[in-house]
Amino acid sequence: MNGSTDERAGRLRPPKILHWALLVLPLLFLVLFYFYPLAKIVTLSFLPDGSWQPDQLRRIFHSPVFGRIIWFTTWQATLSTLLTLAVALPGAYVFARFTFPGKNLLQALTTVPFVLPTVVTAAAFRALLGNNGLVNSWLMTILDLTTPPIKLDQTVSFFLLAHVFYNYALVLRIVGGYWAGLDRSLSAAARMLGASPWQTFQRITFPLLLPAIGSAALLVFIFCFTSFGVVLILGGPSYATIEVEIYRQAVQLFNLPMAAVLSLIQIGINFLLMYFYARLDRKTKSGFYSDTAMGEAIQPGTGSQKLLVGSNVAFMLLLMVIPLLALVIRSFVGEDGLTLAFYNALFTSQAKSVFFVEPISAVKNSVGFGLAAMVLAVILGLLAATFIASGDSRQRSLWDALIMLPLATSAVTLGFGYIITLNRPPLNLRDSLALVPIAHALVAFPFVIRCILPSIRQIPHTLREAASLLGASPLVVWRKIDLPLITRAILVGAVFAFSISMGEFGASAFVTRPHTPTMPVAIFRFLGQPGEMNYGQAMAMSTILMLVTCSGFWLLGRLDSYRKGALH
C-alpha cells in the first residue's frame, strides 16, 4: 500500500528542474542573511588574525560558568516543557471531546498569548505579580502592609510561569486537534471487550497520541531553550539561558569567542531537535493554527465531565486572560488612581527621554516593518513549503530541519552578525531600514512553513492525479487545485508573520536605529528606566502592541465565521 502511494506521489511531483527552482529564493535568502553572518561571527571569533586560535576555545570549554549556563538552559527548558504538558493536556482533551458555550471564543483567546511578543508577556506578568503589580498593590492596601507579600521578581518560578502561559496554546492546538481526529471506533471496541476507561487510554489512545505529544513537546522545549525576553526581564541578572548569555557576552562584554561558541552549541542542539520534530510532524500533519480536526464533540453529561470541563475553562481564563487584563488595567492606573497620563506621554518627546522621537512613532515603525516582513516571509515560506511537500521522502526531514534552522538560532546572534557583515557593498545594509524587515522575515518564515506545510500534505493525491490525467501541467495543478485549498493556511501564515515581526526583540535590539525604534525595543527601554512614568508608558505601549497583534487573529476569526456562514 505504501509503495503504491509513493509511486503515485512520485508521478505527481513536478519536474526536477521546477522542483529545485522552488528552493532557489529561500536558499539564497538563507545563505545571504543566515549562513553568511553566522560564518562571519565564527571566523571573527576564532580566526581573528587569519590563524586558528584554539586556546580561546579551550579556555571557554573549561570555564565553570560555561557549564552552568548550558545546564541551567537545559534544565529550565525541560521543566517548562513538563509543566506546560501537565496543565495543557487536560485542556486538549476537553477541546477534543466536548462542546460547550463559548468554545470557539475561548480557543481564540488561548491563541493570543502564543503570538504575543515575549516582551509583552514579561510585562504582563510584572503588571500582575511583580513587586509593583496589581496583586501586590491590592494585598498591601487590604492588609496594610509596607512590603509586597508576593515576591516573584527575579526568580525561576516567575519565568517558568510565563513559559507555561506562552506555550499553553501550542500544546492545546497540536494535541487537541490531533486528538479530535482519532478514530473512536478503536476505543469503543476496547470498551466493548471489557477495558476500563483508564486501560483504554493507556493502551489505545495514549500510544496514538504520542507523535502529537512529542511534536508539541519538542516545539515547547525549543522555544524555552531559546528564551530571551522573558528570562532577561523576569529572571534578572542572576539567571541566564544561552540566548541571554549570548546577548551579554556580545553586547555588554564584547566577548565574541564565548558568544560564538554558545551560538554554535545552541544551533547544533536545536538542529537535532528540529530534525526529530520534522519526522514527527510528517505523522501528525499538524500546524500551529489550523481548523479543529473532524471529530464528534459531545455535551458534558455526567457530573465528573461537567467538573472537568468547568475546571479547565476556569484555569484557561485564569492563566490566559488575567495577566493580559492586568496589563491593560496597569496602563490606566497611576499613583493617584485612574489616569491617561501614560498614553498621553507616548505622544510627547521629553528632553530627558530615552527616545530621539515621540515614543508613539514606534507603533508606525513596527506596523511598517511588520507588513514588509509579512510579504517577504509568505513568499519564502510558500516556496519552501511546496518544495518540502513535493520532495523525496528520504530528504524531506533533512531539508525541513535545515530550512527551520533560523527558528532554532539566537536572534541576538543574527542581529549581531548583521552588524559586522552587512556593512560593505553590495550588501551595505547596516544603516538601511530594509535590514529590519529582512531580520524579522528570517525569524518569521519558518512559522509560515509550519502553517502551510500541513495543508499541502493534506491535499488528496486523487485531485492532482485527475488533473494530470486531463492534461494539466504541474503549474496549472498548483494554481487550480493546491492554491485554493491552502489559501486559508497562507492567510494564517501571513498573520503569524506579521505578529512575529511586531513582537521580535532579539535581532531588533541590534538592527533598529535610535530614531526608528520598534515597539518591543521601546518597551524594553521603558522597563530599563526608573520611575513611575517610564513603567506606566511600558504598560501602555505593551497594551497597544497586544491590541495590534491580536487584531490580525480577530480578523482571521471573522473571515472563518463568514466562510462557514457562506457554506451553510
Determine the Cα–Cα distance for residues 315 and 110; give it in Å rounded to an integer: 11
For residue 413, give the nearest of 509, 525, 275, 500 by alpha carbon: 509
Grid cell listed for 120: 509583552
In Å, what is the CA distance from 94 to each residue of 100, 112, 168, 290?
10, 19, 14, 17
Residue indicated by cell numbers 505578529: 499
For residue 378, give the nearest of 435, 447, 475, 458 by alpha carbon: 447
The answer to whether 250 and 256 are in contact (CB under 8 A) is: yes
For residue 354, give the nearest of 511, 523, 505, 509 by alpha carbon: 523
Residue indicated by cell numbers 505504501: 2
The answer to whether 213 and 85 are in contact (CB under 8 A) is: yes
Greatest mean pLDDT range, 81-85, 154-158, 515-519: 81-85
Domains defined along the chain, listed by start: 2-44+64-340+364-561 (1.10.3720.10)
Determine the Cα–Cα distance for residues 41 and 300; give it in Å rounded to an integer: 57
In Å, what is the CA distance from 458 to each residue of 80, 453, 481, 492?
32, 9, 12, 16
Q: Stretch 532-556: mean pLDDT, rounded?
A: 82
pLDDT of 72 > 60? The answer is: yes
The answer to whether 293 and 180 are in contact (CB under 8 A) is: yes
Greatest mean pLDDT range, 220-224, 378-382, 514-518: 378-382
Greatest mean pLDDT range, 193-207, 420-434, 545-559: 193-207
pLDDT of 233 > 90? The answer is: no
Grid cell listed for 187: 476505543
- Alpha carbon of residue 259 to chain centroid: 23
Greatest mean pLDDT range, 75-79, 155-159, 524-528: 75-79
pLDDT of 354 > 60? The answer is: no
| Helix (H), strand (E) at residue 568 | none
For residue 37, give the nearest of 402, 493, 410, 333 by alpha carbon: 410
Q: Stretch 28-56: mean pLDDT, rounded?
A: 77
* Weakest-pLDDT range from 123-132, 295-304, 310-319: 295-304
pLDDT of 83 > 90? The answer is: yes
DSSP category for residue 298: B
The answer to whether 333 and 400 are in contact (CB under 8 A) is: no
The count of other CB atoms within 10 Å of the CB of residue 323 is 24
The answer to whether 386 and 21 are in contact (CB under 8 A) is: no
For residue 212, give the nearest of 135, 265, 290 by alpha carbon: 290
The answer to whether 436 and 400 are in contact (CB under 8 A) is: no
Burial 297-319, CB ≥16 within 10 A → b, else e? eeebeeeeeeebbeebbeebeeb
Average of per-residue pLDDT values in the chain: 79
The 10s digit of each residue's pLDDT in 238-280 is 788 888 888 788 777 777 777 777 777 887 888 888 878 777 7
Contacts of 101 (CB under 8 A, 6+ apart): none
Contacts of 517 (CB under 8 A, 6+ apart): 355, 357, 359, 361, 362, 365, 525
**Phi and psi (nearest 5°) for 144?**
55, 55
Burial 87-123, CB ≥16 within 10 A → b, else e? bbbebbbbbbbbebeebeebbbbbbbbbbbbbbbbbb
* Weakest-pLDDT range from 3-7, 13-17, 94-98, 253-257: 3-7
**Phi and psi (nearest 5°) for 339?**
-160, 155
> Residue 356: what residue type?
F
For residue 474, give the nearest of 139, 15, 92 by alpha carbon: 15
Write down the pTM of the prediction: 0.77
| Banded model confidence at residue 2, pLDDT cuts 50, 70, 90 | very low
Contacts of 329 (CB under 8 A, 6+ apart): 127, 134
String of DSSP letters for 45-97: HH-TTSS--HHHHHHHHT-HHHHHHHHHHHHHHHHHHHHHHHHHHHHHHHHHH
DSSP category for residue 423: E
The answer to whether 513 and 304 are in contact (CB under 8 A) is: no
pLDDT of 567 > 70? The answer is: no
Cis ω for the linkage preceding 26 (within 30 of 0):
no
pLDDT of residue 562: 60
Determine the Cα–Cα distance for residues 452 and 400; give it in Å rounded to an integer: 13
Determine the Cα–Cα distance for residues 60 and 240; give it in Å rounded to an integer: 16
